[in-house]
Amino acid sequence: MAQGTVEPLELTVGGAIKASDTYYLVKIPTNGSVTVTITGSGALPPLTEADKCTCAGKKTNPTTDGAATYTFSIGKGEQSANLGNKVTLTVNPETEPGEYEYQLTKKEQKYKCSNPAASGGVSGGAKTNDQASDKIKILVCKIETESTRPVPEGPDDKKRKIFGIGEHVQLTFLPSKDVRWTVDEGGGKFLSNDASSVPFQIGVRAKTIKITATIEGKSIDTTFRSIFPTQIEATKDNNASHSTGHGVAALVTKWKIMPTTVSFGGVKIEELPCPAKDVTGYYLTHFNANDLDHDPRGGARTIDNDNVVDDVDTAGWQLRLTDPPLPTPFTYGYFDWTIPVQFVLADDDTQKVVPFWITQQFILSSSGILTMKKLGKQVP
């Protein structure tokens, strides 16, 4: 059987990307499909005198009889019949990650004589090239993102694409291969690297984060988003108290951080100091401006897996009657605080952000009744 040289296979992905490399990554799409085409090539041995036929007393080359056929070895199996010069692999969201191996093992071209009767009955023949090409390995792969915490409410979708600031995300390359991970955009940090599955911590910024996995010099990437807390949902506690006629009050609430479609268990929450604003009446008459400043105590508080802050919030001013009593007679008075709400990365207090502010209002009546409002709740 004639021998020859089979040239390297040509790989075409989605009709746009061509490569003669022997290793290639194809990312599983989230929708639609990607078609991978592996095209065979390679010259056949030239025709010899023995292959020629006699037409009109002359030795002539026979004409080709149909298209050349190729034999491909695919993984552990083989495909050859009616493949023309190519095989295709269609990758869609349901395609299982895995490694596919292709090798062109044979090319055959049939010939026919244009005038068999004048050629002594020679009707044609075939030439075969069965020297194998280089192998092409295609890694059909994807990156999965999974939160290490459940969603507080709604579907328990850990494998989501939107996360709360501070969340820990497990990044997994499939099929399982040791890859090198890098953060291209959006910040955050890997807690380990050079493995198929690694933990990643999102920072305290609302960003689109782009992660790249690289193997054998080839890369695929994935993106996901981190979002800020948007508000606090307060529930009034039974310990809320009010002291009639003394100008003091306490509003005790339990806080839940919204939205609950992501987890904020990777950050802590704290109020920051702020000055009193819009001071009028009784408070303007009897106090200096800095007497009314907001001076929070207790530091940052942790947030649990349900996005619930671990301790109650006690809102008030001049709570203890053992403090110097408020001067009388009482008259109408008002002031408020616009309180910065800060979130701090639970294991790195250098990373912090203030995504919103909340208002706390103090309204004093001439009878000494203090109405206090915060987060949609109030006493009395």
pLDDT of the chain along its 380 residues, tens only? Answer: 222 233 345 555 544 334 455 788 889 989 888 888 877 766 677 777 777 777 666 777 777 877 777 777 776 556 555 566 777 888 899 999 998 888 777 778 888 777 666 656 566 777 787 766 667 888 999 999 999 887 877 666 778 899 999 999 999 999 999 999 999 999 999 988 889 999 999 999 999 999 999 998 899 999 999 999 999 999 998 766 666 677 888 899 999 999 999 999 999 999 999 999 999 999 999 998 888 999 998 899 999 989 999 989 988 876 444 456 788 999 999 999 999 999 999 999 999 999 999 999 999 999 999 999 999 999 98
The sign of the CA dihedral 242, 248, 252, 257 is positive
User: Given this model, what pLDDT does residue 241 score?
Assistant: 63
Q: Are residues 247 and 345 in the same domain?
A: yes
Domain boundary among 211, 227, 243: 227
At CA 253, angle to CA 325 and CA 303, rounded to 5?
A: 125
Please tell me the total count of domains within the chain.
Answer: 3
Residues 211 and 246 in one domain: no
**pLDDT at res. 254:** 96
- Residue 206, phi-psi category: left (phi > 0), alpha (psi -120 to 50), beta (remainder): beta
What CA–CA distance (Å, rounded) separates 162 from 47? Answer: 64
The Cα 43–Cα 128 span in angstroms is 10
210 plus 299 within the same structural domain? no
Q: Where are the alpha helices (DSSP H) in 254-355?
A: 281-286
375 and 246 together in one domain: yes
The predicted pLDDT at position 210 comes to 98
| Nearest CA-CA partner of 356 in 289, 259, 291 | 259
340 contacts: CB under 8 Å, gap ≥ 6: 271, 272, 274, 354, 357
Answer whether residue 153 is part of any domain: no
| Residue 287 region by backbone torsions, left for phi larger than 0, else alpha for psi between -120 and 50, else beta | beta
**Same domain, residue pair 371 and 237:** yes
Do residues 204 and 238 share a domain?
Answer: no
Residue-level pLDDT at 125: 76
**Residue 238 and residue 322 in one domain:** yes
Name the 3-class secondary structure at 284: helix
Q: What domain range is 302 assigned to? A: 231-379
CA distances (Å), origin 242, targets 147, 247, 373: 43, 9, 12
Strands (E), 117-266: 124-129, 135-147, 162-164, 168-174, 180-185, 189-190, 197-201, 208-215, 218-227, 231-236, 241-243, 248-258
Q: How far is CA 126 from CA 58, 60, 68, 97, 225, in A?
A: 20, 15, 10, 40, 60
258 and 194 part of one domain: no
Residue 146 lies in a domain: no
pTM for this entry: 0.81
Residues 255 and 373 in one domain: yes
Identify whether 29 is part of a domain.
yes
Residue corresponding to tokens 């701090």:
344
**Tokens standing for residue 249:** 């009050």
Please report whether residue 129 resides in a domain: yes
Domain termination residue (choose one: 123, 140, 157): 140
Distance CA 138, CA 133 (A): 15
Give residue 277's pLDDT.
Answer: 96
Could you tell me if residue 4 is inside a domain? no
d(CA 133, CA 11): 13
End-to-end distance of the chain based on CA atoms, in angstroms? 100
Single residue among 227, 254, 280 that ends a domain in this structure: 227
- Pair 173, 300 in one domain: no
Select from 344, 150, 357 the least CA-distant residue to 260. 150
Q: What is the reported pLDDT for 157? A: 73
Residues 170, 125 share a domain: no
Asked whether residue 1 is assigned to any structural domain, the reply reads no
Q: How far apart (Å, rounded) are the C-alpha atoms in residues 313 and 208?
A: 33
Does residue 158 belong to any structural domain of this protein?
A: no
Tell whether 341 and 247 lie within a shared domain: yes
Q: Is residue 323 part of a domain?
A: yes
Structure tokens at 236: 């009034």
Give the residue from 38, 69, 27, 215 showing the smallest Cα distance to 134.
38
